[in-house]
Amino acid sequence: MTTLIKYIIAIFIGITVGFIGGFQGIAGGFYITALALATGIVHNHRSAAGTTLLSILFPISAGAVYEYYQTGDIDIPVAIIIAVFYTIFATYGARFNAKFSEQSVLYSLSILLGVTSIYFGYSAYTYHKKIKK
């Protein structure tokens, strides 16, 4: 893969995940990681994880945050608490990652994303009951 193609794919990933992240209210890290691996612009999960974390480190959806802030949909103290502890423990998570095989990390990611998908699917399925109350 040429460098130009790699950068064009990176632009596509940024556009796609930026839109989805703003729409869904997520930083989009797992999308970036999955797309970076699936398109072959990185060679393993550890490289995808490092690339993803750097790509979301500075912007972390600043525009989307502003839109949610304008509508009063951000609990600022909770967000700050999460950010502080996220920062501290992400460092430990990255160190922990280096101690496991690529396969083990990928399995753990697939299990966690599967459980998360079930949760959101169930929430969507039961949503109509919540609005009737």
pLDDT in tens, 59-81: 776 777 888 899 999 888 888 88
Contacts of 36 (CB under 8 A, 6+ apart): 13, 42, 47, 48, 51, 52
In this structure, the answer to whether residues 65 and 24 fall within a common structural domain is yes
In this structure, the answer to whether residues 19 and 57 fall within a common structural domain is yes
> Residues for the chain: how many in total?
133
Q: Which domain holds residue 128?
A: 100-133
In this structure, the answer to whether residues 105 and 67 fall within a common structural domain is no
In this structure, the answer to whether residues 21 and 63 fall within a common structural domain is yes
- Residue 130 domain-assigned? yes
Interval 29-51: pLDDT, tens: 888 888 898 899 999 888 988 88
Q: Is residue 29 within 8 Å of residue 52, measured between CB atoms?
A: yes
Interval 109-122: pLDDT, tens: 889 889 889 988 99
Task: Give mean pLDDT, residues 90-104.
Answer: 86
- Residue 16 domain-assigned? yes
- Res 24 pLDDT > 70: no
Q: Which of 32-36, 90-94, 105-109 bottoms out in mean pLDDT, i.e. has the lowest? A: 90-94
Q: Is residue 49 within 8 Å of residue 55, measured between CB atoms?
A: no
Q: How confident is the model at residue 25 (pLDDT cuts 50, 70, 90)?
A: low
- Residue 86 domain-assigned? no
Task: Please tell me the distance from the alpha carbon of residue 25 to that of residue 68, in angstroms, as a whole number.
Answer: 9
Helix, strand, coil: what percent of the chain each, to 5? Answer: 80, 0, 20
pTM: 0.64
In this structure, the answer to whether residues 60 and 120 fall within a common structural domain is no
What is the number of domains present in the chain?
2
Task: Please tell me the distance from the alpha carbon of residue 111 to that of residue 103, in angstroms, as a whole number.
Answer: 12
Which pLDDT score is estimated for 5? 94
